């Protein structure tokens, strides 16, 4: 894949404690592609994202990603497991932060932030404080913050794990809308088979101890996905296929 936006080549990651988080992991993500990383806890899914974001250094191997190429980085967005909003700043200021750190003034940033918040149903919450928002709303703000720089790569680390099922489904649908409105590569870490199938074009299945990529499953249903996709036999078949792969990965680890 010569046109890969993100690539890991035989990457090892060993922590100071001696834990091997990743062993000879290789993967590639094309520009604009939606890829999920699926695996049991402790398989190094989050580590892959942190490496891609430049938040961690590989012990061995090579990482190539926008955050590593562009020194004045604004091309990578990261959505953490918690919304990690600044509690003393309102919604506008939280979303402004990435641009502010890049030297964009409030006035310059306002049109982009206004449009983004409106498109995500947050128009009425521009001046709300994070403590006044529900968990789902907080996560929407976190996604808006990650999107505000129009990133080439959006990295999401189990962003909806703490939300209830209904909110999670709605945010899944909104995420796909956002991805189709503004082309960007998405790397989405999850431990939900259903979520991985619903969202992605490709799912990388990971095994634990040591963390490695054990399988790649193409979800060859074109986007936008039809309304009945979630309940279709095709969906169930893909989930079965992915579950089997995940079980094999976990059996291999045990």
Partner 1 sequence: MKRFADAMLPAVVLVGLLVAWEVLVRVAEIPHYTLPAPSLVLQTLWANAASLAGSWWFTLKITFGALALAVAGGVLVASVFALSRPLERAFLPVAVMLQVTPVVAVAPLILIYVESTTAALLLCTWITAFFPILSNTVLGLRAAEPGHRDLFRLYRATPWQRLRLLLVPTALPYFAAGLKISGGLSLIGAVTAEMVAGAAGRETGLASRILEASFRTETPKMFAALVLLVLTGVAIFWLFDRLSRALLGRWHPTGSPN
Contact assessment for residue 27 and residue 204, using Cβ atoms and an 8 Å cutoff: yes
The residues in 59-78 that bind partner 1, with binding defined as CB under 8 A, are: 67, 71-74, 76, 78
- Closest contact distance (angstroms) between CB of 63 and partner 1 is 15
From 15, 60, 62, 86, residue interacting with partner 1 (rule: CB under 8 A): 86
Q: Is 65 left (phi over 0), alpha (psi -120 to 50) or beta?
A: beta
Q: Does 239 bind partner 1 (CB under 8 A)?
A: no
Q: Which is nearer to partner 1, 67 or 194 (CB)?
A: 67
State the Cα–Cα distance between residues 80 and 82, nearest whole angstrom: 5
Burial 65-94 (b: 16+ CB within 10 A, else e): bbbbeeeebbbbbbbbeebebeeeebbbbb
Q: Does 87 bind partner 1 (CB under 8 A)?
A: yes
DSSP 227: T
State the Cα–Cα distance between residues 109 and 98, nearest whole angstrom: 10
Site stretch for partner 1 (CB under 8 A), options 35-43, 49-57, 219-227, 228-236: 49-57
Phi and psi, residue 17, nearest 5°: -70, -10
Q: Which is nearer to partner 1, 16 or 72 (CB)?
A: 72
From 22, 37, 48, 53, residue interacting with partner 1 (rule: CB under 8 A): 53
- Closest contact distance (angstroms) between CB of 98 and partner 1 is 5
- Closest contact distance (angstroms) between CB of 110 and partner 1 is 18
Q: Which is nearer to partner 1, 148 or 249 (CB)?
A: 148
Q: What six digits make up the tokens of 16?
A: 């100071």
Q: Which is nearer to partner 1, 98 or 211 (CB)?
A: 98
3-state secondary structure 125-144: HCCCCHHHCCHHHHHHHHHH
State the Cα–Cα distance between residues 144 and 124, nearest whole angstrom: 14
Site string for partner 1, 88-107 (x = CB under 8 A): xx-------xx-xxx-----
- Positions touching partner 1 (CB under 8 A) are 53-55, 67, 71-74, 76, 78, 80, 82, 84, 86-89, 97-98, 100-102, 129-131
């Amino acid at each position: 894949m010569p046109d890969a936006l993100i690539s890991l080549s035989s990457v090892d990651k060993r922590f100071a404690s001696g834990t091997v988080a990743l062993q000879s992991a290789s993967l590639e993500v094309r520009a604009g592609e939606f890829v999920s990383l699926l695996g049991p806890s402790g398989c190094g899914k989050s580590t892959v994202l942190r490496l891609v974001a430049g938040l961690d250094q590989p012990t061995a191997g090579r990482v190539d990603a926008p955050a590593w190429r562009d020194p004045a980085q604004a091309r990578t967005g990261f959505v953490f497991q918690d919304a990690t909003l600044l509690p003393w700043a309102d919604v506008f200021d939280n979303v402004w932060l990435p641009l502010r750190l890049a030297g964009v003034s409030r006035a310059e940033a306002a049109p982009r932030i206004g449009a983004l918040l409106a498109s995500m149903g947050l128009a009425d919450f521009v001046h709300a404080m994070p403590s006044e928002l529900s968990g789902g709303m907080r996560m929407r703000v976190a996604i808006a913050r990650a999107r505000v720089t129009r990133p080439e790569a959006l990295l999401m680390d189990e962003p909806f794990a703490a939300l209830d099922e209904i909110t999670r489904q709605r945010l899944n649908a909104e995420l796909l809308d956002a991805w189709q409105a503004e082309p960007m590569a998405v790397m989405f870490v999850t431990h939900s088979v259903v979520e991985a199938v619903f969202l992605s074009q490709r799912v990388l299945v990971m095994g634990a101890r040591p963390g490695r990529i054990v399988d790649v499953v193409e979800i060859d249903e074109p986007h936008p996905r039809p309304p009945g996709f979630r309940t279709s036999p095709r969906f169930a078949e893909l989930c079965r296929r992915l579950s089997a792969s995940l079980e094999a990965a976990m059996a291999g680890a045990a």
